[in-house]
Chains A and B, each alone.
Chain A
Amino acid sequence: DVKVTQSSRYLVKRTGEKVFLECVQDMDHENMFWYRQDPGLGLRLIYFSYDVKMKEKGDIPEGYSVSREKKERFSLILESASTNQTSMYLCASSLWAGDEFFGPGTRLTVL
């Protein structure tokens, strides 16, 4: 079974802190994704990557950056966390379009 894991289920940070959200997949998938989920808005794509060291902006990349140094790991970085980045963050991976697997999510609160 494909497994996508995220480093934390819950995270509390202060405004202005640098925040790292880590995602690891164990099935050698090419594609990895970061989404955020907010009530009434559904899930929105922040960034994705289709290869090591490659990244593409999704629909809402502002305030975020990503890093993919190894195929299995995709990190989401909040350079200076703000309260409007309080959200549920979900990571996913896929080998091809139509094959996305999701991690359990990280609920981030920025105070």
Chain B
Amino acid sequence: AQKVTQAQTEISVVEKEDVTLDCVYETRDTTYYLFWYKQPPSGELVFLIRRNSFDEQNEISGRYSWNFQKSTSSFNFTITASQVVDSAVYFCALSERTSGGGADGLTFGKGTHLIIQP
């Protein structure tokens, strides 16, 4: 069975610091997808990134970057020069493809509450 672990329950940093959110996953499938979502206080889940299991290239999008390492089953998320607006709960999630190519839902980590202090 698949599992996603976000060991950091809450992180608090001062604005402009860099911060890394950890995500470790478990799966027996060779084909799977990893996600990061942001959930601001409004409650809506904001999609940040999707990465498939065959693409281990790191990705950078502005101040956000992701480090995918299959060898350690990790998909970590780094925010560079953090800002107050980055304060939110961040979720890592895993999706496995069924034998028919369909979807049977996401397995989420418990989330990391990121607090950026001014």
Contact = CB atoms under 8 A, between A and B. Distances in A.
A94 interface: yes
A63 to B, nearest CB: 18
Q: How large is the interface on A (under 10, 10 to 19, 20 to 34, 35 or more residues)?
A: 20 to 34
Given A42-B111, A96-B101, A107 B106 contact: no
A98 B110 contact: no
A90 interface: yes
A16 to B, nearest CB: 27
Main secondary structure of the interface of A (DSSP, over half): strand
Interface residues of B, number: 28
Interface stretch (A20-28, A43-51, A78-86): A43-51
B104 A56 contact: yes
Given A42-B108, A42-B109, A98 B43 contact: no
Contacts of A44: 108
B103 A43 contact: no
Nearest to B109: A42
B95 A90 contact: no
Given A43-B108, A50-B103, A107-B43, 14 more contacts: A35-B108, A42-B108, A42-B111, A44-B108, A48-B104, A48-B105, A96-B101, A97-B98, A97-B102, A97-B104, A98-B95, A98-B103, A102-B37, A105-B43
17 contacts: A31-B102, A33-B103, A41-B110, A44-B108, A50-B102, A50-B103, A56-B104, A58-B105, A90-B45, A97-B33, A97-B102, A97-B104, A98-B33, A98-B50, A100-B95, A104-B44, A105-B44
